[in-house]
Structure 1
Amino acid sequence: MTGWPVGFRVRPSADPDSADVEVTDTVTGRRFRWSPEALARYIRHGADWAPTGDGGGWATAVHADDDRRHLVAGWRHWQRRGWYPSDQYYVASRRWDYADTVDADEAIRTATLQRYLEVDGRPPEERPLDGLRTALGKPAEPTGDPVAQLMVSRRSGRAYVPKPVPVERLSGLLWYGLADVRARRHGTDHARPMSYLDSYGSAWDFHVCVYDVAGVEPGAYRYDIRTHELISVRPGNHRQAMTDVLQGMRSPATAAWTLGMVADFPRYQWRYRHEHGLRRLYLESGILGQQLVVLGSAYGLSTLVTPAQRDRPYLALHGLTEDRYAPVYTLTTGWSRGSAGVDFMDESRRTDLLARTDASGR
């Protein structure tokens, strides 16, 4: 052996009582157990020390290493960025066995759901709200630009043209951008427990902090995805409060709104009672966020997407409890300034920019 084999990771053993360490092959997902002493000798000398109870598997995996040289640049990039713990987590997840991996007749899932219902009752419902409702009305149609063009041309917007955005565009963003979530929410039926597992988007509540939308009063709202309405939670101008929530980022100063994706953990945990569910939740947030950002571009809007919010003040602003909810992503949106909007706007420039854009109709 010359050097450490490509794509192998050393990690503690999953068994807390074991004195061994685990070496995982991130390509195949295979795991090997070594005593620390034997592994140290192997790393130092390249001696053919066999892992505990492995037989010839280790030698086979190492000798296949030459087929991976094209992956080296990618792995080094992950290491430089500090992302390498993620590949270990991915490899660990590949060894999990799920009871319903083979369940063509749905018998396993049906029995599991029946047990959940008997022990815990139905999944938790969305928290009802009694605030004033604002109908968003007919959504504006986005431009017909190809998605590929929108993805290539879009920029993260940190500053925006400080003019009101018509409510029809906010309506369109929420109507079309969350269409898949809405369809599944409507399709959940207590008479069909299997519908609980068609769960894409089931964890999410969507909150909108409106700053400057024509036809909607400023304030903090929850979006009712079924009725396409905004439910008032806390009226008022919350630009400064949201700036504080976003760790001092000044995007709310010129934005039209901030959309928050808030996870209701009990709704999701009822369905998925293992660690994989949390990973899937974060993947969903990325999928939904990307859809909303690209769709916003089709409306002439740009967006700052960030998970870097202060959870406790955000939850307090939107009337949410810390023991059940967690904000995962915020999307702050306004009229796009193109590449000029990549930087934060100084407040002193707002009046001048507003005067220069009066004739734009935007």
Structure 2
Amino acid sequence: MKKSILIGAILLLVAILVISFTKEKSIPDTSLLSADEISKKELLQNTKAIIYLSTTADQDIDNKGVSYGVFVQDDNSVQALPMKGLELGSIAVGKDQILLEDKNNINIISDNIKKFKMETPQYTGERTGYLSGKELFFSIYNSGFVEDGYSSDVRYGDSKGFNVDNIPYYIVASGTTENSVHILTQDFETNRFNLKEVTFAEELKINDITTVQSESTENMQVLAPILSDENYYYLILSTIINDTNETVSIYRINKETLEQETFEFIDYTNVDLTATIPYNYKNSATIHNNKLFYANGLGEIYSFNLDSTAVSKDFSLNKVSNSKVRHNEETYFKEGNLYVLRYSPDKKEHYFLESYSLEKGNLTDSIDIHGLDTIINESQNKKVYSYDLKILK
């Protein structure tokens, strides 16, 4: 009897090990890219979109965190470049090349791949971008508290090499222009938001712009990237009244006079506020044809007319759940269109990519992504999440 129990226990253990081993190896080899394969496949020429997936920072305690740059091909299949983990990591699109980052490396990908190993590992990203006026890539990280305050580390450079510097502030929002990065920092002692500009030349420079006029940042949150046009900076900030009520406002700052105005944008009343949070703060708003567009977590797209200051709820995504549960959804604005990575349990391929016209508010295209669900669910016993979406064409 004891022998039978022992044999049964051994067989059960073997079964568990086989299942675990199978799970770790279940991503098809044909979907995974090596550095050598990138030049052979004309990868970027055949890519319509890129998705960044990664484990969270707490899963990287064993130094086995993973991330993937997932290239959605013209035939809607995927090719994935495996990397080290980086929570809130992202993608930057440059001129005929892209930047993909992980905790230890910067990868510049064009018709080949150039990898730059960084001395100090990072665990949480803030913003990655490309300054077209400088032909310069940058990546800012939420590095954490240090002995004399806070550190947001910066890597910046191009295919010739990268420099490392530091922004000594906690960053709550950021945005880019052709030549600089704007950051909104939080001062925990004064409970204030401060708007600053970061430029890159021989060295990184930080210029103070102004302090946001608000009583306190205690019940405020930032919902979108910092946007700007020729005359103004635009911030989308919310004030949480209680668990189910919140007021979202647009703060407009004159670039020349620094005069500030506040405009009521959205009022949420008796709703689950968690469900209203955008899919991705970094990609939730844009300026197009003299309007500021904003996409919330309920799939509602609002606009703010930059001349008349009129607010409108322009359209909603098709068949969107009002649940706070998320399934790696992402948004990205480009050239008058809103692109949305969506999930449906009813589809054979659970993930699909939609595009909507900002002018007409209608669905213009929808494609099923073949193989993304496998990569998300079968990642070496680690749980990966989407943190960025970029559209190439």
The normalised TM-score by structure 2 is: 0.21
User: Between Structure 1 and Structure 2, which shows a larger proportion of strand residues?
Assistant: 2
Higher RCO (CA 8 Å, separation ≥ 6 residues):
1
User: Between Structure 1 and Structure 2, which shows a larger proportion of helix residues?
Assistant: 1
The normalised TM-score by structure 1 is: 0.22
Q: Which has the larger radius of gyration?
A: 1
